[in-house]
Amino acid sequence: MPGFSTRRKRPFYGRLQPCHGLPARGAKLAALFPLRRSSASRFPPREAPLSQRGRPGQGRNRFPALGVREMAKGKTYTPERISFTDARTGVRLLQLTSFPTMSMSLSYYAMNFTPDSKTLIFLSQREPKRDAPWDLFRVDVDGLNLTQLTESEGLGGFALSPDGQWVYFHRGSVLWRVSMDNFEEEEIVGLDGIDHCGAGFVSPDGVYYFTQAYTPQGKTVLARYRTDGMEAVILREWEGKVRALHSCDPGGSGILTYEHRLLDYEGEEKGVFTTSYEFAHWTFLGRTGRLQGTALPPDRALLHLGLGEERPTYIAQGVYFWHSASTLDGEWIVADTNWPDEGLQLVHVPTGRYRPLCYARSSQGHPQWTHPHPQFSPDGRYVLFTSDRTGIAQIYLAEVPDELRERIRSGQLTPKERLLF
């Protein structure tokens, strides 16, 4: 498979370093059975880049204490990729991260990939402990160039620019961006009178960045920042603290709210998708301007809905589709499943036919990092998902075989394939 090694690689956990007061040969035991009185992390740090490693015996800190995380913005780490085949479907998978701290993709209704589908961004926790900060990373789809982009607390709302050159984010109420190439950060513009900003989205033309925030008076607001730094304004307000901003249409039609309302970039209402139907989870059907989403139990279905149509139309029924995302052209949907877990389903929208692509084997509990949240690369070739199948959340890629697409499209599925799930 192009880009994926056929050889299974063991996960890389960094170089074991001796603890203070312990000989080098005891470091492995110390890692497995750390002293309870120590507050240091139980896991060794990611290996520093070759260009930044000292010669043997060089410097006073040749053997830093176990758990001191040698991580920094702009570092490129040793690849952690593991290539393997899904045991039930035969689809090739690539585990992109394997260091023993949690990693996960951005939301399934955000854009995680650069437009050429060669690189993606994700979040990784700095330490293996509760409430540890999350840093932003980039990695190529072949698992190489694993690079840390940020090293600061209090960041959020990460969103790739349409050209893939920048990642925008907020620090407090100020919009920033970090370069995907040289990792330099730039302050763009601030907005007074708001705090606790949430998820962020960049308009497809790259002109605006949108986020939801709260005011000291307890209101929820929709904030708009110009990415050239010329302006930052509040477009709309809601009473109380509510979920307001859902996402930004990749096709450019506007902004979607949790009330199923479509707003233009000035915050004015363009229309309402529905006032009577409630999806379990939903987002845009690629660039078609329509919504696609999953039904609430006990219904087990994928549906799509146009502006003002009020009642959605069924795409597929059978398994319980949980979270779903589509290709940019709207022809294909990938969805994780639950109650029970029946794999990541690849769905052909025009025909409603589907087949399991692979099995994420995630625990699918309450924490978001236990949900697969699958999503396509812009070219539709890859599906990115999160899984804690190893006990620690990591990110994975599945490459969608062309022959699988054709068999689903034509309906030429064997009885065994239909019974896989």
pLDDT-wise least confident of 50-59, 207-216, 317-326: 50-59
Same domain assignment for residues 163 and 145: no
Can you tell me the mean pLDDT for 247-260? 97
Same domain assignment for residues 137 and 283: yes
Can you tell me the mean pLDDT for 77-87? 97
Q: What is the mean pLDDT of the chain?
A: 86
pLDDT at 412: 83
Instruction: Indicate left, alpha or beta for 255 from its phi (over 0: left) and psi (-120 to 50: alpha).
Output: beta
Q: Model's pTM, two decimal places? A: 0.82
Above 90 in pLDDT, residue 51?
no
Rounded Cα–Cα distance for residues 136 and 270 (Å): 34
169: containing domain: 154-249
Can you tell me the mean pLDDT for 35-60? 40
Listed residues 210, 232, 249: the one ending a domain: 249
**Which CA distances in Å does 176 have to 10, 228, 258, 384?**
37, 11, 26, 26
Domain assignment of residue 384, yes or no: yes
Q: Which residue has the higher pLDDT, 214 or 47?
A: 214
Can you tell me the mean pLDDT for 163-187? 96
Chain mean position to CA 13: 22
**Which CA distances in Å does 79 have to 16, 48, 83, 138, 257?**
17, 11, 12, 12, 39
Q: Which residue has the higher pLDDT, 399 or 34?
A: 399
Q: Which residue has the higher pLDDT, 3 or 30?
A: 3
Same domain assignment for residues 116 and 186: no
Cα angle vertex 69, ends 66, 74, to 5°? 150
Can you tell me the mean pLDDT for 143-162? 95
Can you tell me the mean pLDDT for 150-173? 95
Same domain assignment for residues 162 and 137: no
Same domain assignment for residues 282 and 395: yes
pLDDT at 240: 94
pLDDT at 68: 40
Can you tell me the mean pLDDT for 132-147? 97
Same domain assignment for residues 147 and 283: yes
pLDDT at 418: 59
Above 90 in pLDDT, residue 39?
no
Give percent of the chain with pLDDT exceeding 90.
77
Above 60 in pLDDT, residue 38?
no
pLDDT at 69: 45
Same domain assignment for residues 205 and 242: yes
Under the banding of pLDDT at 50, 70 and 90, the label for residue 40 is: very low
Same domain assignment for residues 120 and 196: no
Can you tell me the mean pLDDT for 155-184? 96
Domain assignment of residue 91, yes or no: yes
Give percent of the chain with pLDDT exceeding 70.
81
- Tokens 């509760």 label which residue? 130
Under the banding of pLDDT at 50, 70 and 90, the label for residue 36 is: very low
pLDDT at 72: 83
Count of domains observed in the chain: 2
Above 50 in pLDDT, residue 187?
yes
